[in-house]
Chains A and B, each alone.
Chain A
Amino acid sequence: MKRVRGSTVLLWSLLAAAALFLFRLDYARRITTDVLDLIPVAERSPELALVRALANEQQARVALFALQEPDAARREAAAQAFTAALRASPAFAEVVRMGEAGGNDALSRQIFQQRLDLLLPGWLAARQTEYAAAARPEPWPAWLAETTAARLETFLARPEALAFQDLLPSDPLLLLPDLLVQAQGFLAARPAAGDQALVWARTTAAPLREEGQAPVFAAVGQALAAARGAAPGATLRWSAISRFAVESRRRITQEMSWLNLVSLGAVLGVAAVCLRRAHKALHLAAVVACAMLGAWTFTTLAFERVHVLVFVVGALLGGVAIDYGFYLYLQPPQPPDEPYRAKVRRLAKPLLASALTTVIGFSLLLLSELPLLRQLGVFVSAGLLCALAGAVLWFDQLKVTFIETRPFARARWTGGGPAARSVARGLLVAGGLVALLGPWRLHWRDDIRELEISAPELRAEAVELRALFGETGSRTVYLTRGTTSAGARTALGHFLAWHATAFPGRGAASLGLVVPTPADWAALPERQQALAGFETEFRAALERHGFEAAGFEPFFAAWRTWRQTPSPAYDEAVRALTGALRGPAALLLATTPGACWFATIADHPPGAEPPAATATVSSSQLEHLNGLFSRYRASALQLSALGLGLVGASVFALYGWRRGPRIFALPCGSCLFAFGLLGLAGQTLNLFHLLGAFLGVCLSHNYAIFSAENAARGDEPPPSIRLSALTTAASFGVLAASRIPVVAALGTTVTLIVCAALVAVELEPLARSGRRPT
């Protein structure tokens, strides 16, 4: 009976365990497509906390619908049927037909009811400032009464007075007219929708979760069918984050499949073309399979939720992992009867040096704040270690552990005359110039939206719909945050002061203005005390200014009640306001303890960002999070520099001060050349270019090590370097064609570095051909 070898048992046991683990994995729960999962849960950045809150709260659940039907009567019937069907669906928590009494009417009603609690503190503070500035001799209540009556008289001549005439008996202080003029931003007129009925809705579940997607789509389908029952020709356009999420997941999944398949195909194709017996390239596929199995297994073991982008970028692993197959399989036995294990021992130093330097480098990514980088660090490190172990074990199962490359794959330029030497040197000098000068022209910018594949049709439809609902590019939305309502309101005051300076003459409206500042609120009891006698004075002043004081009885009744009733707590008053908000108005502020914010709509296109002290960010900053990613990029740069230092130190430790610098110069030079080329091309770089550079440096490092090993023996660079570089370039070249911008960035950078390193390795012997070999 044939004895089963330990390496065979070990190899197949590990493969079976990994396959079983991955087979039983709950992919729907463990693999995420939510871009916010790429960013730490405990992220310190307040703008990201805001984005997280917006993504998970009501704001992200909004769906906008435009139902088109030219005939007005049929349109009305269709809109009613559509709205009724959506309201009947449990997938929707709230449905508002735009133009119906609702939204703004409810907001105005609520503010009216709370006008004395919410608006009077600020109004009194403003009047008291005027009183102090005027330095009038009359007592405060008398002055206030006279001034208020005079303001009211003037107001009656204003065009807007006619719209408020029913309100005046209840609001002679003009609290609401003043507010509504200030608030024209968030209550702004909407363009007429023409032959379209507009419906605003909020889904019950968050849009990035399954229950916020399929049931919503089904309900919309049923509602459209109901609308078409009334108007067969009605068409629907709608926009919701869930649509983007589903489309993004579909595109990323599709991208992952084709990138992995094409990348693997390209790698094996290059190997098959270069090997003397093409079918033997399948042994290299086994190494790649070991790497992939190991990478998937360890990454999903290490992280509860893994972003799908890790697996998309993971397509690169094929091109890297196959290197160990090349280094083992393409190295001839020396002497010819050298046993496989002796060959492994002989190659252990360069193999371990190249693997461990890369692993050390990528392991440093585990220190990154970004979950994506940590997951990539585990994926690549585990994948490479598994590739090395898999290669060692796999080839141990073969009888013939060496395969020759085809002649062209190991062909060398032999006409090394002075001309060839000059050309080689010229090319190296040109490359050096690019590496020295180009990087100075680099620009960096990150955009979280580049982590996804854009869906231009959906985006265009969303822009059109938002315009119908009143959102235009000529406005900027700011969000001012605080841990409490009072904190957010104080910050809003600072922001509005900054805005008035930064954008003079430009309006900024916020529902937060309805909420009194904590300072005015705190001063209210004292100011209330000082108003004794105001009612009498005010009645007299009204009569003097031609009014019927008795006509203001609704106001005086409310005034007396307000003076006799203890004021509510600040938070209670704010909660009463927010609790009554419905529809779009409910999205203009949030008073959840720990995450309060107010939206401000400013009448100008996006411009300067507010300073950090205002605790305010613009929605455009929230869309791309460039500021936040800049910090991550700086952090990743520090880690990369540290990793590079460690890689360099390990090379210096292994190869000494004479060969170490030469080995280390190749990856560093190639990296600078790639950045130089990108800089000269005017390319804007992001975090993933940096990540790609780090990976490229680690890979080209391997070429330097194996090239140096051969140079030490007086040999030319081994063909495995050429094959390794070509397969890596093939797999990363595939990534460079990805529709996900960051994946393309990573692929382009690595391809450039690897190709530059290969060219340098090929040119170096030519350039040195006139010299005495060292």
Chain B
Amino acid sequence: MTLRPRLLLALLLAPLAGRAGLFDPENRIELPALRAQWDGLLGRMAATDWVRTPFTEKRYFSVRRMPVVLKGDLIVSRQHGLSLHYDSAAITGWSYVIVDSAGLLLRDDQGRELTPPGDPRAAGPQRLLLNVLQLDLPQLAEAFEFRATGTADAWQLGLLPRTADARRAATSVTLAGAGVNLQRIVLERTAAQRVEIEIGTAALGRAADPAELQARFRRPGGEARP
């Protein structure tokens, strides 16, 4: 093999090598050790309520050549859960995707709602996203093994599923950040099926006003309303 093809191959494998690096067994870290080493950072991130940030979501499907790219903004609340708002409601069919302890709820601009079928406790990637964004480490530790690399300024946290339920949502999860800023999340099922979420600059601590709560989160006593 000449140098150029070797270089090309190395470049192609580089992302995989990076991923493999993070998920190498030597990077495995148990929750107590993770807390001991990263608690200052993760603790500060987890303690932050009402995170708002724009995001770009890239969905890779095995049957599609290019990813589906969606943009929007999200709000994470410790009490109310996660609310994703897509800019392109006409394409996604729903303006808001709400994930909370009661499960997954879709809502459009007219207030019509849909609870997708299935067990709410296994709401798939969205549910996993909520746990990740809330950095609920004890909850995540029940379903995932941790891997960690990097420094406080440029870190990567990997999650490998322990349970069948978690494996159904993703075969691996990668979180990458700088300091207290979570910058990227990758939920991977196979090499060809994954969701990459690029997170913009977050605004912290501004709670939702009543109108926003009404529009973007589950309403009290809320069953799905068609």
Residue numbers of A with Cβ under 8 A of B are 99, 104, 154, 156-163, 165-166, 168-169, 172, 180-181, 183-184, 187-192, 472, 474, 505-507, 546-548, 551-552, 603
A and B contact pairs by CB, cutoff 8 A, 17 listed: A156-B64, A160-B106, A161-B59, A161-B61, A162-B126, A163-B118, A180-B116, A180-B117, A181-B117, A184-B116, A184-B117, A189-B103, A189-B115, A191-B120, A506-B226, A548-B64, A603-B226
Say whether A162 contacts B124, CB under 8 Å.
yes
B93, B102, B117, B124, most chain A CB atoms within 10 A: B117
What's the nearest-Cβ distance from chain B to residue A523, in Å? 29
Please judge, given known A-B contacts A506-B226, A507-B226, whether A162 and B66 are in contact too, CB under 8 Å: no
Closest 4 CB pairs of A and B: A551-B63, A187-B117, A189-B120, A157-B91
Chain B residue, CB-CB nearest to A474: B223
Say whether B195 contacts A99, CB under 8 Å.
no
Please judge, given known A-B contacts A181-B114, A184-B117, whether A505 and B94 are in contact too, CB under 8 Å: no
Complexed CA–CA distance, A551 and B190 (Å): 14
What's the nearest-Cβ distance from chain A to residue B200, in Å? 20
Taking CB atoms and an 8 Å cut-off, the chain B residues in 179-225 that contact chain A are 189, 193, 195, 223-224
Complexed CA–CA distance, A166 and B61 (Å): 9
Q: Besides the contacts A156-B59, A157-B59, what 15 more A-B pairs have beta carbons closer than 8 Å?
A: A99-B119, A157-B88, A159-B92, A161-B59, A162-B124, A181-B116, A181-B117, A184-B115, A184-B224, A187-B117, A505-B226, A548-B63, A548-B64, A551-B62, A603-B226
B-chain residues with CB within 8 Å of residue A506 when the two chains form the complex: 226
Q: Please count the residue pairs between chain A and chain B whose beta carbons lie under 8 angstroms apart in the complex.
A: 97
Complexed CA–CA distance, A99 and B164 (Å): 13
B contact residues, total (Cβ < 8 Å): 37
Taking CB atoms and an 8 Å cut-off, the chain B residues in 77-113 that contact chain A are 84, 88, 91-94, 97, 102-104, 106
Q: Per a CB cutoff under 8 Å, which of B68, B88, B116, B121 touches A163?
A: B116
Complexed CA–CA distance, A442 and B121 (Å): 52
Chain B residue, CB-CB nearest to A162: B125
Residue numbers of B with Cβ under 8 A of A are 59, 61-66, 68, 70, 84, 88, 91-94, 97, 102-104, 106, 114-121, 124-126, 189, 193, 195, 223-224, 226
Complexed CA–CA distance, A546 and B63 (Å): 9
Complexed CA–CA distance, A625 and B64 (Å): 56
Complexed CA–CA distance, A169 and B192 (Å): 13
Complexed CA–CA distance, A168 and B193 (Å): 12
Chain A residue, CB-CB nearest to B124: A163
What's the nearest-Cβ distance from chain A to residue B35, in Å? 22
Say whether B64 contacts A546, CB under 8 Å.
yes
Say whether A158 contacts B94, CB under 8 Å.
yes
B-chain residues with CB within 8 Å of residue A505 when the two chains form the complex: 226
Complexed CA–CA distance, A552 and B114 (Å): 29
B-chain residues with CB within 8 Å of residue A159 when the two chains form the complex: 84, 92-94, 97, 104, 106, 116, 126
Say whether A160 contacts B116, CB under 8 Å.
yes
Chain B residue, CB-CB nearest to A508: B226
Please judge, given known A-B contacts A157-B91, A165-B61, A184-B114, whether A192 and B121 are in contact too, CB under 8 Å: yes
Say whether B91 contacts A547, CB under 8 Å.
no
Chain B residue, CB-CB nearest to A159: B97
Please judge, given known A-B contacts A165-B189, A184-B117, A188-B117, whether A156 and B126 are in contact too, CB under 8 Å: no
Complexed CA–CA distance, A157 and B195 (Å): 12
A-chain residues with CB within 8 Å of residue B68 when the two chains form the complex: 156-157
What's the nearest-Cβ distance from chain B to residue A99, in Å? 7
What's the nearest-Cβ distance from chain B to residue A98, in Å? 10
What's the nearest-Cβ distance from chain B to residue A194, in Å? 12
Complexed CA–CA distance, A166 and B192 (Å): 11
Say whether B97 contacts A162, CB under 8 Å.
no
Complexed CA–CA distance, A99 and B119 (Å): 8
Complexed CA–CA distance, A506 and B91 (Å): 24
Complexed CA–CA distance, A161 and B86 (Å): 14
Say whether A546 contacts B226, CB under 8 Å.
no
What's the nearest-Cβ distance from chain B to residue A626, in Å? 28
A-chain residues with CB within 8 Å of residue B93 when the two chains form the complex: 154, 157-159
What's the nearest-Cβ distance from chain A to residue B202, in Å? 22
Say whether A157 contacts B117, CB under 8 Å.
no
Complexed CA–CA distance, A189 and B218 (Å): 15
Please judge, given known A-B contacts A154-B91, A157-B68, A168-B63, whether A190 and B119 are in contact too, CB under 8 Å: yes
B-chain residues with CB within 8 Å of residue A183 when the two chains form the complex: 117
